[in-house]
Amino acid sequence: MTHNNLEEDPMQFKQLGLVGYGEVGKIFSAGLKPQVDTVSAWDLKLAQGHPLQVAELTHASLAGVQACSSLQDLCAQADCIISAVTASNTLAVALETAQHIRPGTIFLDLNSASPGTKQQAAAAINSAGGHYVEAGVMTSVPPYGIRVPMLLGGAQAQALAARLCAFGMDAKAVAVEIGVASAIKMCRSVMIKGLEALVIESYSTARHYGVEGHMIPTLAETFPSIDWEQTGAYFFSRVALHGKRRAEEMREAANTVREAGFEPFMAAPLPKSTIGFRGKARLAYLPICPKARSGKTTRTGC
């Protein structure tokens, strides 16, 4: 299949490129590798001089992923590009990709960003001849892998959802307009990350006063459908591992509220709260919540 053919039918892609070779990038490259001819990746950690370069190059080599020397190099090879970077880099990656993307290439944006940010990213990619599709990833990726539930938006969302579902993924098109899928995702993030911040602040304070054993059972009495020990363990573990990334997502969630014309009274302080409790989470979440040792997670905690 030549690239000219792809301009006529962009869903026949066979060369997958990942921008971002972190947790999500590694999961998607491994899960989708059997479905395509080649998988390539570009990440700042793969750049010359980065302290993690050797480790990341070794991981890519063992995984059968071609490490690219630059984003331009990746764009020259890939006919489907997946952007899986931090929220703060969503637009920058799209703008740089637009300088090198080949016409007819799919650009699937997995990043947690506001509708306005996604619309700017889409304008750049589409004006360069690419096909921008936004994705609202509706829960944490690790428990589900490539089967993580995703909502897609864009002119090619329906066609891409069908192709991804054929790969064993859980993708659903919700709109041809850009911004709907991200609005669903980010409104949910206000609720979930807000609950996450409340749990961490409450549990950490309860531990300080030595009353966690008394306090947590009262939550179970009020909200019996939630396993508060397991949910607390999961929240603490995710903040400990990904506090910076989650804080960036909450900044985008606050932007989503602002774009709607409201003041984000609850969402705006959450990035500071997440970063502030990150160190405590590293030390506290296992002792507070013994069930964390089981490795079990729930969709409540995404």
Delimit the domains of the chain by residue range.
Answer: 3-178, 182-301
79 close to 104: Cβ distance less than 8 angstroms: yes
Pick the CATH number of 3-178 from 3.40.50.720, 3.40.50.1820, 3.40.120.10, 1.20.1250.20: 3.40.50.720
The pLDDT assigned to 248 comes to 86
301 close to 234: Cβ distance less than 8 angstroms: yes
The tens digit of pLDDT for each residue in 150-174 reads 999 999 999 999 999 999 999 999 9
232 close to 238: Cβ distance less than 8 angstroms: no
Where does 119-220 show beta strands of DSSP type E?
131-137, 149-153, 170-175
The pLDDT assigned to 290 comes to 46
174 three-class SS? strand
Q: Looking at the domain 182-301, which fold is it? A: N-(1-d-carboxylethyl)-l-norvaline Dehydrogenase; domain 2 (1.10.1040)
HSE-CB of 271 using CA atoms within 13 angstroms: 15
pLDDT tens digit at each of 302 positions of the chain: 555 566 678 899 999 999 999 999 999 999 999 999 999 999 999 998 999 999 999 999 999 999 999 999 999 999 999 999 999 999 999 999 999 999 999 999 999 999 999 999 999 999 999 999 999 999 989 889 999 999 999 999 999 999 999 999 999 999 999 999 999 999 999 998 888 888 988 998 999 999 999 999 999 999 999 999 999 988 888 777 766 777 888 899 999 999 999 999 888 877 665 555 555 554 444 444 444 333 343 333 33
Query: Which helix (DSSP H) or strand (DSSP E) does residue 268 occupy?
Result: none
DSSP 24-42: HHHHHHHHHGGGSSEEEEE
The pLDDT assigned to 184 comes to 98
∠ CA(184), CA(190), CA(195), 5° rounding?
130
- Which tokens in the block code for residue 198? 């409340």
| CA distance linking residue 54 with residue 236, whole number of Å | 30
Q: At what angle do helices 180-209 and 212-222 cross, to 10 degrees?
A: 140
Closest CA to 63 of 37, 36, 29: 29
Query: 222 CB contacts (<8 Å, ≥6 apart)?
Result: none
- Which tokens in the block code for residue 130? 């690419």
| Residue 9: φ, ψ to 5° | -140, 85
| CA distance linking residue 24 with residue 146, whole number of Å | 9
- Measured CA to CA in angstroms, residue 243 lies from 187, 197, 256 at distances of 19, 11, 20
Query: Which helix (DSSP H) or strand (DSSP E) does residue 247 occupy?
Result: helix 228-259
Residue whose token pair is 């531990």:
207
| CA distance linking residue 128 with residue 100, whole number of Å | 8
pTM: 0.85
